[in-house]
Structure 1
Amino acid sequence: MDRSNLPSYGEQLDLSLRAVREVEIDGIQMGVLSNGTPYLTMRGLAIMCGVAPSVIQGIAANWPAERLKPRGRKIDASLTAQGYNSDQLVIKTKGNGGEVHAYTDAVCMSILEYYALDASQPNSEVARNNYRILARDSFRRFIYQRTGYSEASSLASLQVFQQRLQLNDQIPANFFSIFREMADLTFHLANSSFQLDAHSIPDISVGIHWGKYWSANNLAEQYGERIKFPHNYPDNFPQSQGNQKEAWIYPILSLGIFRNWLQSTYVRTHLAPYLTKKVGEGALPAPKAEQILIAVQRPSLPGQ
């Protein structure tokens, strides 16, 4: 998404939320926050309202004063009716591609309602048409469908991820585990409708490829030997039955090498074939594979 002209409102980043879905359809930027709240960006909301982005920016940037004016009073009344009680109209947070300025469903519907029903403007019919669409289909469903966000499947996978984290949180101090160190990648998978279950365990794929790299490059000579350590699965996983399962854990001194390998080798070389396989198995909707590959790319610092 193009964020080159995003405004600065002066508020701090809200890192308790993240944009876990970000798409642009017909020029309208939209997404879903990590708590399931759908949003439009400033430009997306402006297009829906049939106004210039600077108009939306002005309302949000000057909201304390704006809400006392005729336009602001109408928007504020609509927000109050929806139970919205924040002093800000925009949530400034982080997404996969950088900073995001999110106008949530309540804010979007209140501003769109004003431009559809109360404002006198040349493009008011645009706002009225979009308001009818969203009032009929619901803003949340509208964004979920267009971003491919599945609340139920994402929540189920996140619950599995959380269970496994809690079951495997006692790694010896001088070692690290593949499962815990690839948590960022697993989080992106879970939030992209990837079905985390007993049949789709991405850390096994990462562990196999990293183990081959470890052995091929004789890393034990430089960092020390890896060791097997108990690894636990949720009770509803078949892997939890029978003998205690074990997984390799690696010397903490090699953690930097692993993190670099994960991004430079696994994500770039091995992740796409793994996702293609999971699409074939039904663990992942086909359109999501490309979205995941984009989402897991790390930004580069200027000059690097």
Structure 2
Amino acid sequence: MSEGPKEITNNGIKINILAAKSTEMEITSKQGFLPLGIEKAGDFGDIGMGVLSDGTPYLNQRGLAVLCGVENAHIGSISAQWNEPELKPRIKKIKGILEEAGVHFGVAHAEIVHAGKVHFCYPAEVCLAILEYYAFDAGANVQDQARRNFRLLAGSKLKDMIYSQVGYDPTGADRFKKWHDRISLNYQSAPRGFFHVFNEAHTIIYELIVAGAEIGEKTVVDISIGQHWGRFWTDNELEKEFGARAKYPHNYPDSHPQAKSNPQESWCYPLAALGAYREWLQDDYIEGGKFAGYLDGKVKKGDLAPSVAQLAIATLTPAQLPGK
């Protein structure tokens, strides 16, 4: 992890060292339409921060108040007044700053339940607009701390700091690592003339990663697919049609606790059954509700954000053509 701020203290309330610049994430049209989760979060001194499941970096209410040099209640009142019919002058000013930056937020913050606690998450763009207001436009309420911190955090620096502190790669490259590690161990492990479910699950795994899922030791969707396909295979006596299935050694990377029992015996199936498997995967597993059931279980356990589940299902389930 690149080095972020050394400290944020109440003594001057300023950030002393900034993180190196990294690639920025774009705010997408999905934001505001799908329920978001928290992918990364942490408290650094008095500053709570994190990254939402769509890649949006945020500060919590207390952290934003500390940066601005004001009480929590002042930040809370900004949220409460955000959509009043007659906007207060400070809300007009803050929204005007956001409009100049080309962004719009229907609310000032998102309330997200994470680890059994409600988090008040203020997107980085909103934080900077509020910080700028208290730095230069608040009249008698202008704060020296806000001015110092705004000079340090303007532009993309606040985003970069949050990404660095919580250990989040906004390019998404590290999300593929554990999956790639499994591929490198298993892509040639099935015997000639057979296929295994892991290699055939790549499209689903890829779409989950793109949607924001952390694929690793907790989310191993190919196990779910393999269990359901195995039952379908035996229940329908497909061995009579395609020939006997076999076992092959499947290995997990050292980063997975499952690696302690490597190699693990897994089923592989005759290539003659590959077409039937792919039809089953689309018609039964994905569109038949089994995939949604698997994701719902992960959401309930807190391993997956609801937005990730919904986006993956929407991507993998084709739109139905209207009847003629």
TM-score normalised by the chain length of structure 1: 0.51
Structure 1 residues 168 and 26: CA distance shift in structure 2, 3 A: closer
1:183 corresponds in structure 2 to: 202
Selected match of 1:169 from 187, 193, 209: 187
Structure 1 residues 287 and 128: CA distance shift in structure 2, 3 A: same
Q: Which amino acid aligns with 2:173?
A: L
SS in 1 for 2:297: helix
1:249 corresponds in structure 2 to: 268
Greater RCO, 1 or 2 (C-alpha within 8 Å, sep 6+): 2
The Cα of 1:190 is off from its aligned counterpart by 1.4
Q: Is residue 196 from structure 1 mapped to residue 205 from structure 2 by the alignment?
A: no
Selected match of 1:155 from 173, 176, 193: 173
Distance across 2 between alignment mates of 1:214 and 1:165? 24
Q: Deviations over 1:249-292 (max 9, x none)?
A: 00001111111111111112111111111112222112221111
Selected match of 2:313 from 253, 272, 293: 293
Q: Which amino acid aligns with 1:238?
A: P
Q: Retained in 1: the 8 A contact 2:193–2:271?
A: yes
SS in 2 for 1:161: helix
CA RMSD of aligned residues (A): 3.9
**Identical residues among aligned pairs (%):** 30
Q: Retained in 2: the 8 A contact 1:153–1:193?
A: no
Distance across 1 between alignment mates of 2:235 and 2:187? 29
Q: Retained in 2: the 8 A contact 1:234–1:240?
A: yes
The Cα of 1:157 is off from its aligned counterpart by 3.2
1:263 corresponds in structure 2 to: 282
Selected match of 1:130 from 84, 99, 102: 102
Q: Which amino acid aligns with 1:270?
A: K
Q: Retained in 2: the 8 A contact 1:227–1:249?
A: yes
SS in 2 for 1:233: coil
1:206 corresponds in structure 2 to: 225
Distance across 2 between alignment mates of 1:289 and 1:273? 10
Q: Deviations over 1:236-261 (max 9, x none)?
A: 21221235211100000111111111
Distance across 2 between alignment mates of 1:26 and 1:161? 29
Q: Which amino acid aligns with 2:102?
A: N
Bigger helix share:
1
Q: Is residue 236 from structure 1 mapped to residue 236 from structure 2 by the alignment?
A: no
Q: Retained in 1: the 8 A contact 2:197–2:225?
A: yes
The structure that has the greater radius of gyration is 2
Structure 1 residues 177 and 209: CA distance shift in structure 2, 3 A: same
Instruction: Specify every segment of 5 or more residues in structure 2 that has no aligned partner in the other structure, as ranges.
Output: 1-26, 34-53, 55-96, 105-124, 129-153
The Cα of 1:129 is off from its aligned counterpart by 5.2
Q: Retained in 2: the 8 A contact 1:154–1:194?
A: no
What is the aligned residue count?
184
Structure 1 residues 153 and 161: CA distance shift in structure 2, 3 A: farther
Distance across 2 between alignment mates of 1:196 and 1:25? 22
SS in 2 for 1:241: helix
Distance across 2 between alignment mates of 1:172 and 1:262? 22
Instruction: Specify every segment of 5 or more residues in structure 1 that has no aligned partner in the other structure, as ranges.
Output: 1-20, 28-37, 39-124
1:8 corresponds in structure 2 to: none
Distance across 1 between alignment mates of 2:172 and 2:31? 22
**Is the deviation greater in 157-166 or in 241-250?**
241-250
SS in 1 for 2:211: coil
Q: Retained in 1: the 8 A contact 2:251–2:259?
A: yes
Structure 1 residues 126 and 152: CA distance shift in structure 2, 3 A: closer
SS in 2 for 1:253: helix
Distance across 1 between alignment mates of 2:32 and 2:215? 32
Structure 1 residues 154 and 265: CA distance shift in structure 2, 3 A: farther
Q: Is residue 277 from structure 1 mapped to residue 297 from structure 2 by the alignment?
A: yes
Distance across 2 between alignment mates of 1:254 and 1:168? 20
Distance across 2 between alignment mates of 1:129 and 1:155? 28
The Cα of 1:131 is off from its aligned counterpart by 7.7
SS in 2 for 1:248: strand
SS in 1 for 2:191: coil
SS in 2 for 1:191: helix
The Cα of 1:169 is off from its aligned counterpart by 1.4
Q: Deviations over 1:201-220 (max 9, x none)?
A: 11000000001111111110
Distance across 1 between alignment mates of 2:282 and 2:180? 23
Distance across 2 between alignment mates of 1:244 and 1:262? 26
SS in 1 for 2:102: helix
SS in 2 for 1:266: helix
